[in-house]
Structure 1
């Protein structure tokens, strides 16, 4: 394909999934365009964790290094776009058209979606300001940083008992803040058996004081924590799944096979936006997203090769 505005593969998104996909495609000499914006799910955090060889590194540092690696391959082009970025995808296998805000349309034989998801945080003052630091949603990514402190868990849904059990070896103490909601009897019994305390008073706000998180309750009492785990609500960060009519899971993720293939031939998905076979939900991990990007890129290459000899 010509390298002007026609490509073998268009990768949308330049987080870890998209960047790894670009490197894999570049190494296989597939003409690839990576269409990126400057918005990333892990922007709020200063340090990423649980990533082989990069534990504690800033997320932006990894992206810079990964982009440099991908750009070393002559078949990879980056298109950094402003505004709304890619606004619409139409077409079919071999003839997809990507409309881009302020740019000429891009045409590609295959499309790899790596646009991620967008989080909605609990509506509590101070949570957004401290998210990615003393407030987090993933114990695998941030739990160790709260070691030997009192760790709070916000919510009253059944998952709070599993979370309290998961962080038991890490935390000195655990407190579940139900934010005015009632625990169901089973969850209450589980928390009692775990030795976790429960505070039912609504949370009025949180703020960072030194290296700790001060939680103010509606009755003006205060709880000091080393960290607070919250559940976010997430949704697709881009409208492409709906535009293309892709199969979605009950949780709102794009359904993919083990190689990142979606329900529409020629469209692949990798990263937090996709849910693979046997998984109850997408795995929100930088390392898993990178691995998924590699698998989806490999599927692009393999599928194209098989089509040529069919």
Structure 2
């Protein structure tokens, strides 16, 4: 069966896009590998009507509601390749020994991103619990406690000024960066401490954080560490298809127009792989736009 739309990625962006197309009575296929970026977080915060819910449950509930539509197909797996076909659409190859193929008139790339972490002992295992990305998602739970911000070159130290809204903050330069006098003055005005030493380990029971240990042996008490990791696309599909990228502050971003169309006709992109700012609500909204835009393109394009 040929689908109207193939959506690669079934998390917040992909499922939101699929719902719009399902309700527009289009034949939709969603392929998802089951590894959403926020799988490490126990709860998602700030999402309309879902504050505090486990993201895995939010995704499962959304998938169940989507599959209530008879025109939707869901495949658990990964798309390992896609190309334009002779019918004017696209054919995608899935992983697995049988190399199943799925064809569709149009594509939505919603496969998200993968995070890259610095080589600091104890950091990866605390990601999503006490090592965090978005203060709007997790800052409230650490209100008034000792907060840290890890500065990853070449990013400016502005993030530390924001984190100070939630509690006393320390900016860790991690031995690699200097702070310009003007920025230093702004940080000091916000009450942000600046620690130039290099972090060698995070300490604390389980996934909790109690302190960071520096290369000179000092320990700085800390309850949460915020950082913005470098990211890369969660799939090579956009590059395979010839989509253009822009270099964002944390990694490459699939270039899209205001209607979420990439530089390749018939290919749309949504979610973290196609946005500079990342959180679940923004990804879902981006997916809605991509789904609506794909449907409108089928109606109005000549």
User: 1:143 and 2:143 equivalent?
Assistant: no
Residue 232 of structure 2, aligned match among 217, 232, 235: 235
Preserved CA contact (<8 Å) 1:121 1:231:
no
Once structures 1 and 2 are overlaid, which stretch shifts more, 134-143 or 28-37? 134-143
Preserved CA contact (<8 Å) 1:99 1:106:
yes
Change (3 A) 1:119 1:137: same
1:41 aligned partner: 37
Q: TM-score, normalised by structure 1?
A: 0.90
Task: Give the deviation of 1:158 after TM superposition.
Answer: 7.3
Deviations 1:118-159 (A, max 9, x none): 000121111101111111122121211221011111126575
Change (3 A) 1:224 1:160: farther
Preserved CA contact (<8 Å) 1:122 1:230:
no
| Correspondence 1:149-298 to 2 at 5 A | 149-155=145-151, 157=153, 159=155, 161-171=157-167, 173-186=168-181, 187-209=183-205, 212-251=209-248, 252-275=252-275, 282-298=276-292
Cα RMSD after superposing both structures:
1.8
Moved over 4 A (4+): 156-160
Deviations 1:250-304 (A, max 9, x none): 22111112221111111001100113xxxxxx22111111111111111111111
Q: Secondary structure at the match of 1:43?
A: helix
Preserved CA contact (<8 Å) 1:161 1:190:
no
1:133 aligned partner: 129
How far apart, CA to CA, are the structure 2 residues paired with 1:182 and 1:73? 52
Q: Secondary structure at the match of 1:176?
A: strand
Q: TM-score, normalised by structure 2?
A: 0.92
Number of equivalent positions: 294
Q: Secondary structure at the match of 2:46?
A: coil
How far apart, CA to CA, are the structure 2 residues paired with 1:44 and 1:227? 15
1:305 aligned partner: 299
Structure 1 residues without counterparts, runs of 5 or longer: 276-281
Structure 2 residues without counterparts, runs of 5 or longer: none
Deviations 1:138-194 (A, max 9, x none): 2121211221011111126575632222122310x2111211234233333332232
Q: Secondary structure at the match of 1:253?
A: strand
